[in-house]
Structure 1
Amino acid sequence: MGRAVSATIRNPILPGFNPDPSICRVGEDYYIATSTFEWYPGVQIHHSRDLVTWRLVGRPLDRASLLDLRGEPDSCGVWAPCLSHADGKFWLVYTDVKRLDGNFKDAHNYIVTAPAIEGPWSERAYVNSSGFDPSLFHDDDGLKWFVNMLWNHRDPAGARLRHPAFFGIALQEWDAQAGRLIGEAKTIFTGSPHGLVEGPHLHKRKGWYYLTTAEGGTGYDHAVTMARSRRLDGPYELHPNVHLITSKDAPAAPLQRAGHGQIVETPDGQVYHTHLCSRPLPGQSRSPLGRETAIQKCVWGDDDWLYLADGGQVPSVAVPPPFATPAAPARARERSVLSPDRLPPDFQWLRTPHPERIFSLAARPGWLRLIGRESIGSWFEQALVARRQEHFVYRAEVELDFEPRTFQQAAGLTAYYNRYKFHALAVGWSETAGRSLTILSCAGDYPEGRLTFPLPASVAVGEGPIRLAVSVDHARLQFAYALSDGVWRDIGPALDASLLSDEAGGGEHRSFTGAFVGMFAFDTSGGAAHADFRDFDYEGADDD
């Protein structure tokens, strides 16, 4: 029997931490690039041929000459890439943000190119540091234009804007041959009254230049704002509805925080628009899966403005695909197979362009060896290798072989958001119990980042390999372990998984990633003790 035909695109199309989607089409192939912030390598790129099923195909910023995030605060790093294709190659624009707090952002913008999505990617060309979330527009006359928001550190200058730091969208020509900006920058759009204008993308159709931007901040007031002009450099008039996509006035909508995306057209002229979104836990405004990627079907109106095909501005979960396509099989349990050559594609690490300092796949074939460096939560060099949480309900487990000799050495399994928000089950050492299990939690304690220890006393576990597990059911997290007898035992109290969300701790406007689950090791003595892991299983259940 043939497989059933899918009637819908199911949003989010990229579940888990995948924000700021930039989409481009090359022939019948679609690519989406999303932000990775402090996670390494930088920029996730997914591929699809039907807009329904997507596959991770690469993270191009994978060497020190392109990206070095050591020392950067949580939620800095790679913001809002723009992926495009012109002149027979891919163009990737990205920002490396070095600072979050205070009046400054120190946002450095770069461009790299490649003949194929798999690479090789060129060395980066520095553009400027005027703001973040830039894009590159390839006009049909062959000229290229760098489009970016301007960051204004002065306070309270720019009172004409709702938020004076977001100083409008600027346009400047990019000379690809010389690898630099030329001419003068011109501010072409200062945003709508909603304010906080950022994330610009240009699209040309029937002599109109359409500008889509993100507005309202990346929280629950987020929106896709649209404007258009007959001239590239403006003036731009606002969409009749101002916002093309937003959930800001629909608190019961399943897709919240909708904004920041880009137009794409199919080969037969159908129109879709990507956007980020989040799915809060039932009954609360916390989104552990972070900001995810969704897509909406759109139509051009008789007035040559773009509208959601379903009408209104609120994004839909179920969206018609461009053509009938076989239904994708349900995702089964994923066991991460560790080869000497590479990590499984779902895994990333934090900040460093020198992974050989924190892990090895060759030291013990079939195992991932983590080399204990700085503490869990370090902004410089910590051995933490993890994958995104993609489901509200999941279980992850792994086998660990580790023999600590001091309380300064620990390794284990963690559900991790950032240095202020994580829960970790660790094999460590204590003077009373010897090798033992403990739980380390940081429950959104911003800015101090103080730990709590939910276990009243360490649990002795003797020698030999041990299996560790974490089970998450929406806001409830439970750790467990199994010794050589294979019997699973819960350990510690149930913990609050909702703390591993954008909105917890410092809040939605200073936390931009999502929850991960993975393996860690640290050795704060400086001895670089190693821990070996294998058979990492992740099994998730979709939430309807």
Structure 2
Amino acid sequence: MSEPVAGPVRTAVNPVVRGFAPDPSVIRVGDWYYLATSSFEWFPTIPLYRSRGLADWEPAGAVDTAAPGRSLLGVPDSGGIWAPALSHANGVFWVVYSIVRSLGTRHFDLETYLCTASDVGGPWSEPVRVPGHGFDPSLLHHDGRHYLLNLQNDSRVGGRRFDGIVLTELEVPFADGVPGRVRAVGPTRLLLQRDELVEGPKITVHDGWFYLLLAQGGTGVEHGVLVARSRSLTGPYEVDDVPLLTSRDDPAVPLQKAGHGELVQTPSGEWYLTHLASRPLQTMAGPRNTLGRETAVQRVVWTDGWPRLAQDGWHPVSEVEVPAVTATATAVGQADDQRRGGLDVAPGWPWSTLREPPGDWVEKLPTSPDEPARVRVRGRQSAESLWQQSLLAQRLTEHHAEVEVTVDAEPTTFTQSAGLMLWYDTTSYYQLHVTWTEPEGEPQAGQQWAGGEGRRVLVLTHGHPDGARILATVDLPGGPVRLRARIDGATARLSSASGDGPWTQVGPDVDFSELSDDFGPRLRFTGAMVGISAVDLVDGTFTADFSAWSLRPRV
């Protein structure tokens, strides 16, 4: 039986950051805890959160300078910014991370970067290249020196892409508070090498030991947290006989894929572990995690010199006692108007964009106080583009939700469209768009040039790794149209309504579970999003106006 938490307590309900928020890195500075998560191909890059007591987390900005030139254009789905690691030293916040530009290759074609800030809310410095050996970097600041931990990738033909954990001392000069050219000092040292896959290294110094926390077994259902320790920073490291955390041996544990953890100590001396986890849906195709990988917290105690979960064993639990604080933060991922917002908060959090920040393709329109907020979106490339998509999206945070928006658009060609998007990536999506098509009974033959003939229609398109297909085409009258999606676990139903008319279902119920990490032939690392988008494949001038946005979890 573990010792009780000192002082008053409250219950943290996992996940504490809900929806797509993987690879959490946590630190405490004074009375505040700060958290960074992976953003992959999405902007804002490296979302940041803060909490006074580990239970409730609020947005704290983002490392908006993380992508050089503010661009991730062309990076593959689930590429981009992986596993940022936060730290704090000499009064400065540091974040180190990798940008992965190739997937499914032996090289990953990545760069490792460092950004710093005197305040977590920014401004953050421009990224500085760091000499890294693979993804999942982290920094240890110890005895006035800076050390980079890295997964080592042996990219040679026949090499191992997960070939151990290495340590490199860094020299980081500062001028006017901004880091200069970073260089390695001395040799890179191999700390640990195992037959099983280990990555995500973090070092915690405690009671004269260096504790090396490792993500093991990949980021799927075999995921976990393994611990090794040494009296010397450079090793040798002794590996614990049991995992600190995993759910791989019991599919009934509510929090699956548990792994990629980091330790943090409270002001009163308790220890906690933040980690990623998923809440699977059980489907005919097996477990699927539409919400992606989320952030959870577990209490940790020290037993015989090793960190152990306070609840005994290694399974994560859904409710954890944490110290109560007098000032609580706004919960992240809950159904409050401040968090969910409306289109009046675009283009800021909780809205996200693909591969670049919002630009001149999205504009907030002036409205009177009694009018709903509106934005105008200018169409650009298609839903299958890795480049310039005009998509504004929000994370889905619960398995049951309803999303609704009104779109006002008058396309005159099949190359123009706008509407609602249920999104995972360029190969998995449901797009409900207002567009143009030929007159009834005529083939797809470019008739938009024949004197304005044709029909304004609503088209439901299903993006799939095997190729997109049309699920429904519905004629539309003129004027604004309301669009809605009701998400019930593994199923979604899309509907439309004109003016104040009734809702009418568009197409069949769709398999929403395809918008998950677990669908398709390749690795995927993000989570389901819902949003609005516009397309113009000819000259990028077509616009659509959106209003009355809502995203509400459903009980």
Q: Taking structure 2 as the reference length, what is the TM-score of the superposition?
A: 0.89
From 517, 541, 544, give the equivalent of 2:554.
541
Structure 1 partner of 2:450: none
Q: CA deviation at 1:6?
A: 7.5
Instruction: Give deviations 1:27-56, integer Å, cap 9, x for gaps.
Output: 110011000100012101111001111111
Cα 1:93–1:147, aligned 2, differ >3 Å: closer, same or farther?
Answer: same
Q: How does 1:497-516 map to 2 (within 5 A)?
A: 497-507=512-522, 510-516=523-529
Cα 1:41–1:335, aligned 2, differ >3 Å: closer, same or farther?
Answer: closer
Q: How does 1:110-509 map to 2 (within 5 A)?
A: 110-139=113-142, 141-157=143-159, 164-177=160-173, 179-180=181-182, 181-191=184-194, 193=195, 195-241=196-242, 243-283=243-283, 284-301=286-303, 303-323=304-324, 331-332=335-336, 336-339=341-344, 343-353=347-357, 355-362=358-365, 366-432=373-439, 434-445=455-466, 450-455=467-472, 458-507=473-522
Residue pair 1:213, 1:226 contacting (<8 A) in 2 also = yes
Structure 2 partner of 1:88: 91
Q: CA deviation at 1:149?
A: 0.5
Task: Tell me, in whole angstroms, the C-alpha distance in 1 between the residues paired with 2:19 and 2:510.
Answer: 20
From 72, 75, 95, give the equivalent of 2:75.
72
Task: Tell me, in whole angstroms, the C-alpha distance in 2 between the residues paired with 1:517 and 1:372.
Answer: 17
Task: Tell me, in whole angstroms, the C-alpha distance in 1 between the residues paired with 2:377 and 2:435.
Answer: 15
Residue pair 2:52, 2:329 contacting (<8 A) in 1 also = no
Please state whether the residue corresponding to 1:498 is helix, strand or coil: helix
Residue pair 2:378, 2:540 contacting (<8 A) in 1 also = no
Cα 1:539–1:40, aligned 2, differ >3 Å: closer, same or farther?
Answer: same
Cα 1:62–1:426, aligned 2, differ >3 Å: closer, same or farther?
Answer: farther
Q: CA deviation at 1:327?
A: 11
Instruction: Give deviations 1:162-198, integer Å, cap 9, x for gaps.
Output: xx2101111011112153222111111114x4x1111
Instruction: Give deviations 1:225-260, integer Å, cap 9, x for gaps.
Output: 10000000110000131x110111111111111110
Cα 1:66–1:229, aligned 2, differ >3 Å: closer, same or farther?
Answer: farther
Residue pair 2:342, 2:550 contacting (<8 A) in 1 also = no
Q: CA deviation at 1:357?
A: 4.2
Structure 2 partner of 1:61: 64
CA RMSD of superposed structures (Å): 2.0
Residue pair 1:444, 1:504 contacting (<8 A) in 2 also = no
Cα 1:80–1:66, aligned 2, differ >3 Å: closer, same or farther?
Answer: farther
Q: Does 1:532 align with 2:545?
A: yes
Q: CA deviation at 1:76?
A: 0.2
**Structure 2: gaps (5+ residues):** 1-7, 174-179, 440-453
Residue pair 2:9, 2:321 contacting (<8 A) in 1 also = no
Cα 1:112–1:149, aligned 2, differ >3 Å: closer, same or farther?
Answer: same
Return the letter of the residue paired with 2:401: Y
Q: CA deviation at 1:377?
A: 2.2
Q: CA deviation at 1:322?
A: 2.1
Please state whether the residue corresponding to 1:32 is helix, strand or coil: strand
Q: Taking structure 1 as the reference length, what is the TM-score of the superposition?
A: 0.91
Instruction: Give deviations 1:251-283, integer Å, cap 9, x for gaps.
Output: 111111111010000001100011111111035
Return the letter of the residue paired with 1:451: A
Return the letter of the residue paired with 1:345: W
The percent identity for this pair of structures is: 40
**Structure 1: gaps (5+ residues):** 158-163
Please state whether the residue corresponding to 1:352 is helix, strand or coil: coil
Decide which moves more: 226-235 or 120-129: 120-129
Task: Tell me, in whole angstroms, the C-alpha distance in 2 between the residues paired with 1:328 and 1:69.
Answer: 30
